[in-house]
Each structure stands twice: as structure tokens, then as C-alpha cells.
Structure 1
Amino acid sequence: MLSLNSDRYLELYLAVGWAGAVIVPLNIRWSPIENEDALRDCRADILFVDKAFAPVGATLAKTIPGLKLVFADDGETPAGTENYETLIARSQAMPDAMRGRDDLAGIFYTGGTTGRSKGVMLSHGNLMANALNALGEGLWPSSTIYLHAAPMFHLANGAAMYSVLLSGGSNVVIQGFTPDGVAAAIQKERVTDVLLVPTMIQMFVDHPTLGNYDLASLRRIAYGASVISDAVLMRAMKALPHVEFTQAYGMTELSPIATVLHWKEHIGDGRAKGRHRGAGRATLGAEVKIVDAEDKVVPRGTVGEIAVRGDMVMMGYWERPEETARAVIDGWMHTGDGGYMDEDGFIYVVDRVKDMIISGGENVYSAEVENALAQHPAVAQCAVIGIPSDRWGEQVHAVVVLKGGASATPEELIEHCKTLIAGYKCPRSVDITATPLPLSGAGKILKRELRRPYWENRDRRVS
């Protein structure tokens, strides 16, 4: 599925499983090259597109042999494309394929440490375990009117859909996030719940016309995907004093929730203890531990890698057994996030073990950006790091050494990257230096040395 949010997207999440097929939600912010790579990788049979992505879909269908194209939107159907509603009208209802908990339900593509995206395989059991865990935590009760404002290709939003359907709540869909669009939907549909990434929360509560809308129905905002700053959280709580905030921490490989930080920890005694800066405690059905480089549990308060075990842990990476074996050890998913656990079991994320940046709630793997930069003929050496950003949490920053006699401007390098990878992955800033990048004894670029000036005097090395 390559589409903005729609009611048909929700239908497809359910219908594909009913049919015994596998859904692959594609990232609408990716470049056509990246989505082509994903489609070829999973050997997709059918691509559903809306108006916004019909031209891209037509190109992909010409490029990938045997790929069938279906137009899942209102309006005129492009030539050579099947129409979603026409297909339904001329087809007989089919019986449930009765897929079991261990059957593959979806492949969700995420960035890769090697420069190529990899498909996270989630089973029906994975998705249902996460949905039930969320309900057990008190998220999305039966009275919920949930707004799909975050992209539906993101598993966090898709997973919320399953919980809301199980609880008997209602799903409200808008095409995509804008502050006015969210506020208008809340006012019109009496929305009670929405999931937003911190960047969206900041844009929403800082919007100059927010006071023009009736937001009295809104009861809960869940947030995640990246760390929220104290300043943004305080502004949000002030702007929406009747709303409770809940953080969910996790990753696609965990279907996606691992820990939950409830509203009570954002205020009162929990806040006094600094828990509002944490990621909460293990959700129902999950175990969490902090391990060192030898995979041994470290003492409470000691920073190590966060590892998670439970029925929500992915089946593995699509056709990448070696990467799966590195990530999942004895059933424990190694997240790549550095953090510590306090005496009460609360998790605090303070760094990243993986070479990953989270910008505006989107994962960006440095290797992907470096591979794009390295294809520029003037680049001799490059390194990509995350630096603090008030708006995006973290900002993609590149340090580049040019070849002797070559020239290139930061703007040229950024534009070059945009031809190869999604815009949000491209550097927002570039330092061009004549000094060779610092190397370890094994010849690996010491990115911590490059990151240090930007993160000095901060409690954590992620934003």
C-alpha cells in the first residue's frame, strides 16, 4: 500500500489478513527508488495506490514485472489500473483464510545499518499480542474515538487501530497531519484520543489558531517514536490542561510497544522523581533488561543496551537470517538503544548503540545517508551523525572530506542526496572539512568524537 491515510487503508489492513495474504505498508516519504527496492525485495504481487501516488505507482508497475496496480481512491481511475470499488462490486465474498498466530501478517520496512532497508516480519500473533497489551495498559478503552493523524504506514498508528477495533472504539481518519486538520477533526468528530510524535505535538500546541477550535472532547494524547523535551511537554500540558499524556516506547521489531509511561508519572510524585523524562516500565506481556556488550545484565542505574522479550518480538527480518540472529538472541530483541533501569523498573533512554538518528519521529540510519553522499564524485570521505534540534529532536548532519582538487557546496551535496533517498533522511546541515575524519585503530570513523561538541553538557545523548 502506497497511500495517504484513508478508510480504505484501514479496510486493507483487515482484508489482506482475512485473505491469507501479507500487507506491506510503504513509506510515503521514501523516494521511488527506495520503494522499488522494497517491492522487489518482498516480491510484491499487488500495489494499492491513491491519487497522490498513482503516478509513482504507474512508474513502479512498468519497472517491476508482474506487479498489478489497484487505484484505491475516489475520482477517475488512471489508465491501465484496476479500480478498488469495481473489484469489490464484481467479486464474491470469500471465506476467512483462518490464518493462525504464527502466520506472517505483514512486512514493515525499516532503515538498515548496511544502507538498505530491511523488512520486519510480524505475525498475526505479534500484532494481537501488542494490541491486547495496549488494552491491558488502559490505552484505547471502548469509549475511544481515535484519530489517525500520524501516517498509517507507521506501525504505531496501525497498531493503535487493532486495539481500538478490539475494544469496540471508533476510528476517525484524516489524510495526514496538519495542526488545523487535527484540530478540525477533533472538533467535528468529538475525538478523544490521538497518537502524535513529539514534533507533531510541538507544531500542534504552538499553532496560532489552536484557540479557535473546540478541543474539549480530547482526553488523551499518546506520544512516542522519539524523546520529548521538557519544554515541549510543559507547553503541551499548559495548552491542553484537560488532556492526559502517555508515552509508548518501542520499535517496529516489537510490534511496536515495549514500555509505557503513564500520565500519573508526568505529574505529582512521578514528576518529582524525574520519571517524566523516562520511557516507563515494561508493558504487560513484555520483559525488559539492560545488558552489556557481552549480553550480561548490568546493575540497576548502569547504562547498557535495552533488550526486550515477549510475544510481540518479530518473527525476524525478511530473508535476512544473519541480521535476525544478531538482533534476536535467545528470544530477546536487542533494540540498539542505550539506557538504564532504575530501582523501580523504569527505563531511561540516554544514547544509541546502533548508528541511528531519530528525526521528527522517523528512523534514519547513518549508513543509508553515507551511501548516498559517497556516490557524489567530489566526496572522498563522509560521516553522518545526529545533532540536537529544537524542532526535529535530532537533525541529520554530515561531515564531508572532498577529493583533492574537487569542489562541492553543502547545498549541492544535500540536493544530490535527495535524488537517491527520502528527503527526511537527507542532511539538513553539512560541514566540509579539509581535516581527515578521526579513525580508530581498526580504521573505523570515531563518530562519538564528531558528536561530542554538539552533545556536551547534556544528560542524554539523544533528543
Structure 2
Amino acid sequence: MGVIDLARLNVRDFFDEARAASPEAPFVIFTTDDRAYSFREAGGFIDRAAAAWHELGVRHGDRVAFMLGNTPEFLWAWLGLARIGGVLVAINTGFREAEAGYLVRDSGARIALADDEFAGMLAPAGRPVLTPAEFGALAARSGLDPAPAVDLAGDDLISLIYTSGTTGDPKGVMQTHRNFVLTGQAYIDWMRMEPGERIYACLPLFHINSQAYSTMAAIAARGALVLAPRFSASRFWPDVRRHRVSVFNFIGAMAMILTKSQASPDDADNHVRIAYGVPALAVEVVDEIEARFGLRCISGFGMSETTFGLLEPSTDRGIPARWGCRVTTPTRACRPPRRRSSTSRAPRCCAARGELLLRNAAMMSGYFGLAEKTAETLVEGWLHTGDSAYQDDDGFFFFVDRMKDIVRRRGENVSSLEVERVIARHPSIAEAAVIGVPAELSDEELLVFVVPRDGVDAAPLSAGDVFAWAAEHLAPFKVPRYLRFADALPKTATAKVQKERLRAMDADDPAGRIVREPDRRDER
């Protein structure tokens, strides 16, 4: 292999190389109708989309807002936009008018492409809005001239990935062509993907996972992206088996939902070799997934701000795939200082918890239009993640929790994630989420939201059962004081629990808590 010019890496050339090498290999398979599109056929749609964008006046560096579900048409329109240097601004399809309009205006999008159900929602933002049918008709029009060739550089923007906005207004993470190409190339190495293998994508295409990991990996492997409209527990394994999927990504509660589903004798009857996801799962859950479904399950750490982070080894040998990583040494609970470093070398750290910092070749360019916030987050090349972690003596890093989700209880720091994992292992519990609530005297108390399991094999569940399970498996100071049962947890479209909504729900009805009787051990 020759020397790779990082300055010239771009998704247009990346796809064209795959199209030339494997023109008749399937690139996209849509599970709704099982329609397969080869690299050659998909390339034709992408070329026509590029020409359509150019005719609409979109030029290099222009932003275009998408509010679309998972369909092949999303991919054609996006990859066509990337061919002429346009920048995708993909909007969460769960957003309401004000939220969606904010992204359109903040990004300075020139035009919008939206499903029929969302088109009216984007109109008040004051930009032209096309539906997929209208755009498709333009792209298919006979006589449409090809889009002029555009000089693309590695650091040209390809996508603005907006953060969830849990600490303020959403921020547009600027991701580049180079980052996406490097991610696709790296992912197939991380997952040991062979040429032609298939990756299942049920996470939304407005999320960086489906854009940078799944789509780019399919291109890198000359393999197929098996695209589903959304995650469905009932359709997941039938889709995976029918299309002989080798790899899939999970996020949020997906893995727990699959493990809590009714066991079947054919659970291991699939072609999946490996599943990758975040957050890291408890060892017991990983063991259950691997034994029941006959696959390898690994976890990693990544962010919208960087697609390279931390990764468990995909085999029993070796160390985690990582680049520059370090943990700040805390001097006070939960708020370690942002220590500047004059070296890029990651120092050996003790097991003390601190903020996880990352530095690698696939970092964001910054936050769109937010120079000051960018400077706060990227310090001398180090990305301050806002996550608490520690490093052991063998060099492995361990994620603790989002720093804002660590609960300070009676002088101890409690990871909400740790408590959630333990409680969710109860056989009659589908999901659990923990938040901190004000205590009577100082610090905070823990409140757990619990969703009981459905199904004929699910035993009845009482508050006493939950508290007893927590007391058996957790240190006394980690056992929640309060409990609330819920039919479901509020989630983003990427299956992340919306803890701000849980806090609002509790604030609206604090009397709805179930209180655990105090235990003498709590005073220790």
C-alpha cells in the first residue's frame, strides 16, 4: 500500500474506489422491502443527486438540512451532497418545530430536505423545503447535466452533528471528510471485517454512529449496509438472519432489550461474529449475550466530537485500540482541573478518577460558530470529554459516568451508570435509570426509575423487591433512597435515556416517589 495523503482523503473518492473495485456487489439492502442496491446502481443515484443539488444552487461549503427517516434515498441525497462539497445537517426526527428550526437557523442551511410529515415543521425556518419525491423527480430528470468536479480536501466539512443540548443549546460538531474516511478504514480493522461482509444499521442516519461507523465501514469493506428504518426488538433477529449480517452496532438500551426478550432455541442461529456498542455492559450481561446469541460483544468509547476513542480488543489478545488518552488527576471530587500539557504523550495514571481526555487523528474541527466553546473543549489538541474515568496498572481505561451524572451522596461519589446496570440485571426489570435529587440536609439522594418486564415469564415486581436486590448487590451508600415505576423511559431517537425529562417528571410530582425504609448501614 502506498503512502496515504491525509490532506486529500474525501468520501467522494472513497466511494468511487469501492464502486470501481466491486461494481456489482451489494452496497445497501433496505429491510422494509429487501431491495438490494449494488455499488454501481447506488453510484448512479448518488451522481444524479449531486447534479440535482448543484442545479438547486448548492455549492462547496453550503449546509443542507435533512429531516428524514432511514431510507436509501437519505444515503443517495447525502453522498451526492458530499460529492460537491456540501455539508449535511441531519435533524433528529423526534424534534419539534422549535428544536428543528433552531438547527436550520444555527447552521445557516441553504435549503432543507424533509419527509412529508416534517416539511411543514421546517417551513417556518424560512428556507426552501423539498420532499424526497420532489428531490427524486429533479434528480431523475432526463438531460440533467453532471455536477462539475469539485476539489475536495480532507479537512473539508462533510457533516454537522448536533449534540443533544443537555447543557445548553445544541452545538454543531464539525466533522470532516478525512475523519469519516479514516473511521471507515479503521472500523473494518477493529471488527476484523472481511471483504463483502454485511453490517446491520438500525440506528438513525442523523446519528454519527450510522454515518461514520456503519456507512463508511460498508464502503471500506466493499460490503453491504443492511439498513432498517429503526430499531425493533421483534424484527432485529429476523432481519439479521435473513440478510446474513456479520456485524452490528448497538447503543443505549438496545443490548439490554435484546437480552430481556423471550429466549428461543434458535437464538444462536445467526451469522453475527461481533457486536460493538456503548456504553460498556456489565460482565454478566456480556457473558449472557455471547453465550445466548453465539457472538463476540465488545464495547468502546466514542463521541460526536471524535470517532476514535477507546475500544476493547476484538480478540483475546492485545490491548485496547486507542490513540492519545489520559485521565486528569483530581484534586477534589467530580471536578478535576483541566491541566494543560506540553506533550502529546499519554502519561501513566493511577486509579484515581479524573476527566478523560482524548487526542487522535479523527477529531472534530470544532463547534460550528462557537470559537470560545471550541477553545474550552479542545485544549492544546486534547479533547476534554466531560466524562469521568480511570486507568489501571495495565494501561486499560475504565469509564465511570458522565461527570454531570455522578451523584454526590453522603460524602461519596456514586456513578448513576453503575447503579443502573446492577438494578437492570434483576430478572423482572426491563430498564432502570438513576438521577440525583436534593437531600434534606446536604448532597443528594438517589432516585431510580424502573420499567418492569412484560411477558408471560415476567414475575410480579414490588418496590421491596427492587430495594432488596439493590441492597444485596450494592454498597449501602449506592442503594437508592427513592423509586418510581414507569411504563417506559423517555429516550432520544438513538435510545439514550433523557435524564432531563426524568428530572422534570420528578419535579412535577415529588410525592409520587416510593421511599425506602432507612437501614442502619446507611449511616456508616
- DSSP-derived class of the 1:427 partner: helix
Of residues 310, 320, 323, the one that matches 2:370 is 320
2:56 corresponds in structure 1 to: none
In the alignment, structure 1 residue 260 sits paired with structure 2 residue 299: no
8 Å CA contact retained: 1:328, 1:334? yes
Q: Quickly say closer, same or farther: Cα 1:309–1:214, change in 2 above 3 A.
A: closer
Match of 1:439 in 2: none
Distance 1:83 1:57 in 2: 13
**1:281 maps to what in 2?**
320
Are residues 114 and 214 of structure 1, via their aligned partners in 2, closer, same or farther at CA, if it must alter by over 3 Å?
A: closer
Show structure 1 runs of 4+ deviating over 6 A.
none
Shift of 1:48: 2.0
Q: How does 1:151-300 map to 2 (within 5 A)?
A: 151-160=204-213, 161-208=215-262, 211=265, 215-224=269-278, 226-240=279-293, 242-254=294-306, 256-264=307-315, 281-283=320-322, 286-292=323-329, 293-295=337-339, 299-300=349-350
Q: Do the aligned residues in 1 keep the contact of 2:401 with 2:416 (CA within 8 Å)?
A: no
Within 1, Cα distance between the matches of 2:432 and 2:361? 31
What is the CA deviation profile of residues 92-129 of structure 1, one whole-angstrom value per residue up to 9, with x for unaligned ones?
A: 32144231101111100003364211100011112222
Question: 1:198, 1:64 → 2: CA distance?
Answer: 31
Judge which range, 209-218 or 14-23, deviates more.
209-218
1: CA distance, partners of 2:369 / 2:509? 39
What's 2:129 paired with? Answer: 69
Which residue of the other structure, out of 7, 13, 22, is the alignment partner of 2:78?
13
**Which residue in 1 is equivalent to 2:355?**
305
Deviates more, 1:140-149 or 1:321-330: 140-149
Equivalents in 1 of 2:258, 2:235: separation in Å?
10
SS at match of 1:191: coil
Task: List runs of 5+ in structure 2 lacking aligned partners.
Answer: 1-65, 330-336, 341-346, 407-414, 425-429, 441-483, 485-489, 511-517
CA-to-partner distance for each residue in 1:177-221, whole Å, 9 max, x for gaps? 002222121122111111112511121233227556784222211
Instruction: Give the corresponding residue for 1:408.
Output: none
Alpha-carbon distance between aligned partners in 2 of 1:49 and 1:177, rounded to the nearest angstrom = 21
Structure 2 equivalent of residue 33 of structure 1: 98
Alignment RMSD, CA only? 3.4
**Secondary structure of 1:146's match?**
strand
Letter of the structure 1 residue corresponding to residue 501 of structure 2: C
1:47 aligns with 2:112: yes
- Structure 1: distance between partners of 2:497 and 2:122: 19
Aligned pairs, how many? 364
Structure 2 vs 1, CA of residues 229 and 29 (structure 1 numbering), >3 Å: closer, same or farther?
farther
Query: Which residue of 2 is the match for residue 137 of structure 1?
Result: 190
Q: Which amino acid aligns with 2:258?
A: F
Q: Helix, strand or coil: the match of 1:14?
A: helix
Structure 1 residue 167: Cα displacement: 1.9
Partner of 1:84: 136
Q: Return the offset for 1:35.
A: 1.5
Quick one: distance in 1 between partners of 2:234 and 2:149? 40
Distance 1:98 1:210 in 2: 53
- The CA distance in 2 between the partners of 1:356 and 1:34, in whole Å, is 24
The aligned amino acid for 1:187 is R
Match of 2:332 in 1: none
| 1:427 alignment counterpart | 502
Whose RCO is larger (CA < 8 A, sep 6+)? 1
TM-score by length of 1: 0.70
Deviation at 1:173, TM superposition (A): 0.8
**Paired residue for 1:447?**
none
For 1:370, the equivalent position in structure 2 comes to none
Q: CA deviation at 1:27?
A: 1.4
**Aligned AA (2:502):** P
User: CA offsets per residue over residues 311-364 of structure 1, 9 Å max, x none?
Assistant: 2111000100111000001111111111112233211011333x259xxxxxxx
Q: Could you report, residue by residue, the CA deviation over 1:116-152 in whole angstroms, capped at 9, with x for unpaired residues? A: 1110001111222222222333443323211111222
Computing the radius of gyration from Cα coordinates, the structure with the larger value is 2
